[in-house]
Amino acid sequence: MIPVNKFKLKAEDRKILIKSLKNNWISSAGPEVKIFEDKFKKLIGKRYCSSVSSGSAALDVALKVIDIKKGDEVIIPNFTIISPAISIVKLGAKPVPVDCDLYNWNMQINKIEGLITKKTKALIATHTYGYPVEIDKIKRICKKHKLILIEDAAEMLGHKYKGKFCGSFGDLSIFSLYSNKHITTGEGGMLLTSLKKYKDKIFDFKNLCFGKKNRFNHYEIGWNYRYTNMQAALGINQIKRISNIIKKKKSIGSKYFNNLKDEKNLFIQNPKVKHFENVYWVVGVLILNKKITAEKFRAELKKYKIETRSFFWPIHRQDIFKKINLKFQKHYSNSDYLSKYGFYLPSGLDTKNNDIDYVCDSVKKIIKKFNL
């Protein structure tokens, strides 16, 4: 079976991890944590960086830091992982989803201002599947309406938009270090900002809000979202290789594109668009003629021993939000289409050229079989 994602750990990564263990540093108090955070913030270009236990934890802390509370509204993409919506709902606030573009899969920027109300306090802008959202336009909207911008760059570490690193645009920016990301420490995340007013709050909320005078008299509800020294050690060498990792991801995506671009009823994103390149965190494809659903196409690929993944299930269709009677607008046609006819192909860092050739040949056989 060709896996949809497979991470390749190098000997140098194992070496620094073993070194940290030999030095008996395991907890979040170890020296590698600060080393990793410093390298991370230097890369992105932010003043402050705090490691956390996951990308979802970074969202929790970011929203708490900006004081999102009951009655507030936060605008988010409708086509995204459920994490931003969950983080908002946990604080008693309401997520307000924006439909996505059918071909770049990011939130439709021209729909944002129509959703802003007196209750809107923040906007979470996500770069989806390796394709940068036009974050400069979103930043201007946030400035105009005095909204706090949280940039979700979970899938974009090391990639640039108009010459600046993704994750450098938000008032707060989050990254994920999960096993399928550009660099991974198994689990983990980063929360960055250049605003001093958020720095200490971030540390406190990820660290149980211990008291200043009496450590165990906690002044606010926080979480234990700390990040271990072992994880940090695993990330230090990877971040040094980030430019080569990005180059590899682009190469994988470009090879898929060149193999499949002439299939008229199967859409694959172009490697180069306007002011930026697609980094292909994953290589997604979209069926255009509705003769076969993504679910059925994926079942066919499984017969060829090829693992795939479905696209995100839209926020407005999540069962949990129906259960708690959370109301959204009725029409998100692009998100609905993507969730039914989109999926992604094997594209992890260990994907070989012959794997890509085999996957593309198999895709073409299925297209021919169903006369797409």
Q: Provide CB contacts within 8 A for 256, sequence distance 6+.
A: 268, 280, 283, 345, 347, 356, 359, 360
pLDDT for the residue numbered 260:
97
- Per the CB < 8 A criterion, the answer to whether 162 and 276 are in contact is yes
350 close to 8: Cβ distance less than 8 angstroms: yes
The CATH number of the structural domain formed by 11-98+105-240 is: 3.40.640.10
Note whether 11-98+105-240 and 242-369 share their fold.
no
Under CATH, domain 242-369 is a member of which superfamily? Aspartate Aminotransferase, domain 1 (3.90.1150.10)
Domain positions in the chain are 11-98+105-240, 242-369
Q: Tell me the pTM.
A: 0.96
Query: Radius of gyration of the chain from Cα atoms?
Result: 21
Pairing relation of β-strands 283-287 and 266-268? antiparallel
- Give CA–CA dist 321/207, Å, rounded: 29
- Mean pLDDT per 10-residue segment, the chain (372 residues): 87 85 80 95 98 98 98 98 98 98 96 98 96 96 98 94 95 96 94 97 95 92 94 92 94 97 95 81 95 97 98 97 92 96 96 97 96 90
CB 183 within 8 A of CB 242: yes
**Calpha distance 158→182 (Å, rounded):** 8
How many other CB atoms are there within 10 angstroms of residue 242's CB atom? Answer: 18
At residue 300, what is the residue type?
E
* DSSP annotation string for 117-170: -TTEEEEEEE-BTTB---HHHHHHHHHHHTPEEEEE-TT-TT-EETTEETTSSS
